[in-house]
Structure 1
Amino acid sequence: MLSASEAALRAAEHVTAMTGRCAECVVGVERAGEDGWRVTVEVVETRRIPDSADILAVYDAEVDADGELVAYRRARRYSRGRVERG
């Protein structure tokens, strides 16, 4: 069974491979059942000048106990400078 940190690393690699964009950071990790992990990965979708105008996206990825990608989807897009409330 993968540790949370190993699952996060594998999920970030899978999101990078699937989207063609580099993962910026992992912003969430949680168990998905007994055999896997659900990982939330932030990606820069469009770089702009200044950096505060970049368009970011958050992807939810699920990896199994072996670190293989089971599912992924883009959850939302937003400007880097936008602050979320709540």
Structure 2
Amino acid sequence: MQVVAADSRGAGKAELSASAAAAEALRHIGELVTSPPVGVTSVEPVEDGWLIEVEVLEERRIPSSSDMLALYEVELDHDGELLAYRRRSRYARGRAGTGNGAG
């Protein structure tokens, strides 16, 4: 879903909602990396658009609790166009930092 906002000259410009930005990030990551995206872990508005984190299943293992996952950061402009992406971390499933000193 797109929201139209007026810029400083009064002309309308399309801006993505947070959920639409998340969907665009999943689409872009799906096209750029060979591993399947698992889901979006965060969406944050930034000055030039959106900053989205996407978790990707990089390596399936048996048991699945030892799968290797990665966290990608995706930058989109206000129209959903890809500005940049990067892999921020790689970790075994269930081993990511939880903010409580673990990981």
Unaligned runs of 5+ in 1: none
Q: Residue 85 of structure 2 aligns to a residue in which SS?
A: strand
Q: Paired residue for 1:19, among 18, 22, 33? A: 33
Mapped partners of 2:96, 2:56: distance in 1: 16
Q: Residue 59 of structure 1 aligns to a residue in which SS?
A: strand
Q: Please give the per-residue CA displacement for 1:25-53, whole angstroms capped at 9, x wherever unaligned.
A: 100000120x4100000000001111101
Q: In the TM superposition, what is the alpha-carbon distance from 1:83 to its structure 2 partner?
A: 4.8
Note the aligned Cα RMSD (angstroms).
1.1
Percent of residue pairs identical: 51
TM (norm. structure 1) is: 0.93
The count of aligned residue pairs is 85
Larger RCO (CA within 8 A; separation ≥ 6): 1
Mapped partners of 2:74, 2:58: distance in 1: 16
Kindly tell me: are residues 59 and 83 of structure 1, through their superposed partners in 2, closer, same or farther at Cα, counting changes over 3 Å?
A: closer
Kindly tell me: are residues 47 and 63 of structure 1, through their superposed partners in 2, closer, same or farther at Cα, counting changes over 3 Å?
A: same
Unaligned runs of 5+ in 2: 1-14
Moved over 6 A (4+): none
Mapped partners of 1:64, 1:81: distance in 2: 32
Alignment-derived partner of residue 4 in structure 1: 18
Q: Residue 49 of structure 1 aligns to a residue in which SS?
A: coil
Mapped partners of 1:51, 1:74: distance in 2: 21
